[in-house]
Chain A
Amino acid sequence: MKQTVNNRTGGIVRNLALPALLILVWQLWALNLPAGSPAPSPVKVVQTLGELLSKGSLISATVQSLGRVLMGFAMACVLGIALGLLMGTIRALRENLDPIIESFRPIAPMAILPIAILWLGTGTPTALAIVAYASFFPVVVNTVHGVSHVDRKLILAARTMGISQWTILARVVLPGALPSILLGTRLAMGVAWTAIIAAELAVGAKSGGGGSGGIGQMMFVFYAYNIDLNAIVVCMTVVGLVALCIDQIFKVLEKRLIPWRQEA
């Protein structure tokens, strides 16, 4: 009994050892820098976090970015799932759209950004377009995959029992494809969050700090105007935490929505 407790505490110590050591080294390194150096240090990062939180700018920027991600993601989901269901069930549609979707897939969302700026300006619509573009592909590809891997026998059985096409789609095909669709949306949300940061950063960088807002823009302002590296590290941490939360939410959702199938 004592042995296992020892093992467990040993495990926790080992878990925390490297991050703690790195933070310690970082702090010691920062202490030896000449005064007035912009280099970040753990203590200053925590102080900056407190300041930014009390001012409220950090939270409002994060909320703004999250709102954009959700909007763009919702657009991509509606389009991607609808199109994916149609492509999965109608062969001719799949054959004709597949080459086009596959050839757009290797084009990074950021490559579309200059065109999006030309079309939609430097505000929220551009950010939405980039997010929707980025998250569209995982959703549509995984929906098609899910639909085409639904058990044929189930569909045939439903058809034999005289169930209408739409009911089959809603009650047989959709639940059958759900695990794959959810995987697609989870991947999509991950890319969407990355894409919004990139879009806000680049819009900030390339439009002379135009007021697009959001946490990416905030980071760029801290880089280009305030030169506050501590604040940049704070923003990076927030970006990471949000990504982590999004991923966890989707994992819980997957467990709730598809309790009958547990696979990675």
Chain B
Amino acid sequence: MNIIVCVKRVPETAEADLVIDKTGRDVIKSGLVFDLNEWDSYAIEEAIRLKEKKEGHVTVISMGGEEANESLRKCLAMGADDAVRLTDPAFEGADGYATAKVLAESIGKLPFDLILTGTQAEDDGYGQVGGALAELLGIPHATVVNQIEVEGKKLKVHRELEGGLEEILEIDLPALLTIQTGINEPRYVSIMGIRKVAKKEIKVLGAKDLTLVANETGLSGSDTRIEKISFPPTTGAVKMIEGNPEEVALNVLNILKNKGGLA
């Protein structure tokens, strides 16, 4: 089975102190730690597991500058066979739709039975690229998938719904699935593992290689644009408790007592 996995390198922002840049449309990226998008790490792991079970070939694709090689190499170290990086100044500023168009152009030239993406990206959270890509390629799709079984030329998949419910679907190959976190346990990649694939070729493709017109990609090919960004308004309702751990602990236990938490 030929499996293509689309991945993205994203900044880790959960504990970072974010600063809005001069354009007012993004945050300052220098100083942030980047890694493979969490959803994508589950997608690449799932692809490698399917390959290990049934044999096959895993190609990992990412749109981005040279720094995206870092994420592609991580995927290679995990067990992907090939890596492709899509890069061009014309791709910059792409929203979910414009990203899907570039991916579709590049994937359309490759043999594939299954395409996996993460359900969404940690940074912009569109949750859009997978579905749009499937539509552009004219193949069926399922999103938020947390279980896959291969049954010949079709798959039986579980989609995670709300409130602990799942739905079971049957889907014909070739197909695209967007993968939910928790579907597996992504394998650990050591520095040695990354070093082993350091010399592996990463194929680089630009707009010319993909026969895309400039106004189809990047910001000008996007449906939407970010006008400005801001910090969410603070509600101001929260009372902050300060002091050393003992003082904080006493305070918290008093709140528990007052609010009926402790008898």
Partners in one complex: no
Q: What is the interface of chain B, defined by CB distance below 8 A to chain A?
A: none
